[in-house]
Amino acid sequence: MAEIDLLIRDARVVRPGAGAAAVPEPLDIAVRDGVITRIAADVPAAEAAEVVDAGGLLAFPGVIDAHQHWGIYSDLASDTETESRACAQGGVTTSLSYLRTGRYYLDRGGPYREFVPEALARMDGRSYVDHALHLAPMTREHIDEIPSLIEEFGITSFKVFMFYGGHGLHGRSAEQGEFLMLPPGERYDLAHFEFVMRGLRRARERYGDIVTLSLHCETAEIMAAYTELVERDGTLTGLRAYSASRPPHSEGLAITMASYLAHETEFPAINLLHLSSAKAVDAALRMAKAFPHIDFRREVTIGHLLADVDTAHGIGGKVNPPLRERADVEALWQHLLAGEIDWVVSDHACCRDEQKFGADRDDVFLAKSGFGGAEYLLPGLVGEGLKRGLSLARIAELTAAAPARRYGLTRKGELAAGFDADIALVDPDARWTVRAADSESAQEYTPFEGFEMSARVTDVFLRGRRIVRDGAVTGAPTGRYVRRFP
């Protein structure tokens, strides 16, 4: 019997934390029972049942995409299959998806003790990548359920959608209770956000620092007022109109309120999601200085790093928070290069053409929010990052090691002995053009249509099993639900 199940030879191994000047060495990666057992030069091929020649390609830790939305617009079961294929295509081997009760997702309210088993059953056996869940406590009952969610389902990360207090998913809000399916007498507002933090603080005292809270920071009242201004003026159209209707200072104000609530409730682990603008990052950095006892983490998406209101391909680029001006894109890169961003995600939310656009396909306010993009996460960050001086080791940190540590994925995020053999091989010299037709996603369009990429994911391994070969997804789905435990 072979001592090694899989041997990947001649791979330039990218190690998070290796330092900006580190040059990845050509090494061999030995795998047994889905786990890396050895990384060294010249491991004897005779010991291996299967040998893959990487030909000097870069070997990254499989991407942990810490922000996705499987099932938001389509049946969760079918979305799990198609969108996990898109994940694999982009080097993502672990997806963390946000779920909540209310409209979209499972289109139901009620307790999570009934909701989560149904969600997991729909996903079971359909995913090509490993996956975990974040949950949003929408009601008082959900706050009370936090300990059982941790113990029974290994869910340790939670979310607040700040703008749902008075604004809908796509624009003006319908009746809040109807949209969120709230019980009579309950509101989803700042007071509820405070009580979520207090509930999570109690859980953190019991279960430790694995318990964190993520926030979508936009201010409903600002967005409602500015949407009215933009529509009344009528000068702006398309993505620029949508950005103006949800202005950057709306993010900054929400970040400020959320940060003070964290201070007030003594909840110390806050993740500020998909910061889209210079003002948002500025507010986040100011709050980190104001409240040094709070462990803030700052997230950006590959969409906000690559596209702006002018370069995105049409209003298919509508997303929350919006794509911004080119100056904001450049500001995000400056903060990324300065080490002030903690991880990069896709915020993948597949919205098919017939769902995305309204009767007037050019009216951005009739379109739904969100788009896919996991398939472009690693190649986009490698290609554009290398041009801007972002080191390979830092890319591995941003896409794998940092989210793994924050979200308790203790066997993932590194290429080292004892870790899951989740590996993405990348050609940093490939040149190709983004075409929606080439994506494994069920989404028929992409805001990145026509973008020129300068890196490509060629092969991907999930726990030592090849799931992408020469750029094509292969085999049956073998992804597992990952429980995270204190």
Q: Considering only CA atoms, which of 272, 257, 133 is closest in space to residue 193?
A: 257
What's the confidence (pLDDT) of residue 4?
A: 96
Q: Considering only CA atoms, which of 378, 279, 257, 272 is closest in space to residue 332?
A: 279
d(CA 451, CA 222): 33
With DSSP H G I counted as helix, E B as strand and the rest as coil, what are the percentages for the chain, rounded to 5? 40, 20, 40
**What are the φ/ψ torsions at residue 163 (nearest 5 degrees)?**
-80, -15
Residue span of the structural domain in which 291 resides: 62-410+429-453
Count the neighbouring beta carbons within 10 Å of the beta carbon of residue 477. 18
What's the confidence (pLDDT) of residue 428?
A: 97
102 beta partners: 108
d(CA 256, CA 409): 29
DSSP state letter for 348 = B
Q: What is each CA distance from 232 to 139, 226, 235, 247, in whole angstroms? A: 35, 10, 9, 16
What DSSP letter does each residue of 69-82 carry, written as one string? -TTSSS-HHHHHHH
Counting residues of the chain whose pLDDT is more than 70, the rounded percentage is 97
What's the confidence (pLDDT) of residue 154?
A: 98
Q: Is residue 189 part of a domain?
A: yes
pTM (predicted TM-score): 0.96
Q: Is residue 181 part of a domain?
A: yes
Q: Edge-to-edge strand order for the sheet containing 92-99?
A: 63-68, 92-99, 130-135, 157-161, 212-216, 269-272, 295-301, 343-345
Sheet strands (E) in 251-408: 269-272, 295-301, 343-345
Q: Would the pLDDT of 420 be above 70?
A: yes
What's the confidence (pLDDT) of residue 463?
A: 98
Residues 59-99 have pLDDT tens digits of 999 999 999 999 999 999 999 999 999 999 999 999 999 99
CATH number where 153 lies: 3.20.20.140
Q: Considering only CA atoms, which of 212, 200, 116, 88 is closest in space to residue 463?
A: 88
Residues 41-52 have pLDDT tens digits of 999 999 899 999
Sign of the alpha-carbon torsion through 147, 153, 156, 157: negative
Q: Would the pLDDT of 21 be above 80?
A: no
Judge whether 129 and 422 are in contact, CB under 8 Å.
no
Residues 288-313 have pLDDT tens digits of 999 999 999 999 999 999 999 999 99
Q: Would the pLDDT of 168 be above 60?
A: no
Arithmetic mean of pLDDT, 394-416: 98
| Domains: count for the chain | 1
Counting residues of the chain whose pLDDT is more than 90, the rounded percentage is 92
What's the confidence (pLDDT) of residue 173?
A: 52
Q: Is residue 18 part of a domain?
A: no
Q: Is residue 42 part of a domain?
A: no
Residues 206-229 have pLDDT tens digits of 999 999 999 999 999 999 999 999
Q: Is residue 52 part of a domain?
A: no
Q: Is residue 461 part of a domain?
A: no
Q: Residue type for 416, please?
A: A
Sign of the alpha-carbon torsion through 115, 161, 321, 104: positive
What's the confidence (pLDDT) of residue 164?
A: 79
Residues 228-284 have pLDDT tens digits of 999 999 999 999 999 999 999 999 999 999 999 999 999 999 999 999 999 999 999
Cα 276 from chain centroid?
A: 14
Residues 106-132 have pLDDT tens digits of 999 999 999 999 999 999 999 999 999
Q: Is residue 416 part of a domain?
A: no
Q: Parallel, antiparallel, or unpaired: how do β-strands 432-433 and 452-453 relate?
A: antiparallel
Q: Is residue 275 part of a domain?
A: yes
Arithmetic mean of pLDDT, 317-333: 98
Q: Would the pLDDT of 171 be above 60?
A: no
Judge whether 135 and 121 are in contact, CB under 8 Å.
no
